[in-house]
Amino acid sequence: MAENLKTILSSQTKTVEISRDKPTVIIGERINPTGRKKVQAALEAGNFDIIRQDAADQVAAGADILDVNAGVPGADEPTLMRQVMRVVMEVTDVPLSIDSNNTEALKAGLELYEGKALVNSVNGEERSLQAVLGPVKDHGAAVIGLCMDDDGIPETPEARLAVAARIIERATSLGIPIEDVIIDPLTLTMGADSQAGKITLQTIELVIKEFGVNITMGASNISFGLPDRKYINAASVAMAVYAGATCPITNPLVTEIRTAILAADLTLGRDVHAMRWIKAYRQRKAA
């Protein structure tokens, strides 16, 4: 089995270590206008109050890193990305994940950021590899690699592993340390494919065995279109943590998901004397 690698991210004042030797790192997903009409409308109006609140609430609920997406249709995304990042950095000091399909917006965020950011994301498409990895290297960032390429999302764990290998090879050939490549095996909804969850878990295991890198995932994707999504998400993320996921992208405000991650860490021996579990329990009772 490959070495268990550690990824270090930082802001000006705070450092986060991602590793299977440490408790699971939560990347908060809520600063994203996609599918959130209220956020999109506020950003279109130049109102950032909801961004401030989302940032503060997610960190209070246990987010260690915040994903920041400014993808409002028709907007000047590089400018909006800088504005949103400044607002988030005013209210919290956790490291940021700069999330965009727009290369210029990624560059704008990296140029503004003081610390070691996470870039979300690159994939195995040649166009993506050429556009994203250069800025990641230039700014000393870490990057999420999605297991998809010019042919789409592979159907088998072995084919997704091959895409991960291609991304890692290209990144390391540019001088990006392998520990700064975090792989996302991609999670499709089980509402459309009952094998989707199993394929994700198997991909996680294969990637870790081969490369030892850290693993993220969009933890809510697996339940899209199904009822009672929070229970599916909670069970699935706990199983993913057992398989080796280290930094899922999820909503820490959903109690079921947050407690499932805490319980998984406790079960895996990452919570000495159950102190994190007890602290979270007391916070829930007080609330």
**Mean pLDDT, all residues of the chain:** 97
pLDDT recorded at residue 3: 82
pLDDT recorded at residue 2: 75
Cβ atoms of 161 and 210 closer than 8 Å: yes
pLDDT recorded at residue 35: 86
Q: C-alpha angle 279/280/285, rounded to 5°?
A: 100
More confident position, 224 or 1: 224
Cβ atoms of 81 and 105 closer than 8 Å: yes
* C-alpha–C-alpha distance, residues 259 and 71, integer Å: 30
Q: Which residues neighbour 274 within 8 Å (Cβ) at sequence distance 6 or greater? A: 266
pLDDT tens readout for residues 215-243: 999 999 999 999 999 999 999 999 999 99
Confidence label for 9 from pLDDT (cuts 50, 70 and 90):
very high
* C-alpha–C-alpha distance, residues 104 and 153, integer Å: 25
pLDDT recorded at residue 144: 98
* C-alpha–C-alpha distance, residues 96 and 81, integer Å: 12
3-state secondary structure the chain: CCCCCCEEEECCCCEEEECCCCCCCCEEEEECCCCCHHHHHHHHCCCCHHHHHHHHHHHHHCCCEEEEECCCCCCCHHHHHHHHHHHHHHHCCCCEEEECCCHHHHHHHHHHCCCECEEEEEECCHHHHHHHHHHHHHCCCEEEEECCECCECCCCHHHHHHHHHHHHHHHHHCCCCHHHEEEECCCCCCCCCCCHHHHHHHHHHHHHHHHCCCECCECCHHHCCCCCHHHHHHHHHHHHHHHCCCCCEECCCCHHHHHHHHHHHHHCCCCHHHHHHHHHHHHHHHC
Closest CA to 260 of 94, 18, 63, 24: 24
pLDDT tens readout for residues 159-169: 999 999 999 99
pLDDT recorded at residue 287: 85
pLDDT tens readout for residues 34-73: 989 999 999 999 999 999 999 999 999 999 999 999 999 9
Whether the predicted pLDDT of 1 surpasses 60: no
pLDDT recorded at residue 32: 96
**Could you tell me the residue ranges of all domains in the chain?**
27-96
Cβ atoms of 96 and 11 closer than 8 Å: yes
Whether the predicted pLDDT of 195 surpasses 90: yes
pLDDT recorded at residue 84: 98
Whether the predicted pLDDT of 85 surpasses 80: yes
Give the pairing of strands 249-250 and 27-31.
Answer: parallel
Share of the chain above pLDDT 70, in %: 100
* C-alpha–C-alpha distance, residues 183 and 122, integer Å: 10
The gap from C-alpha 237 to its chain's centroid, in whole angstroms, comes to 13
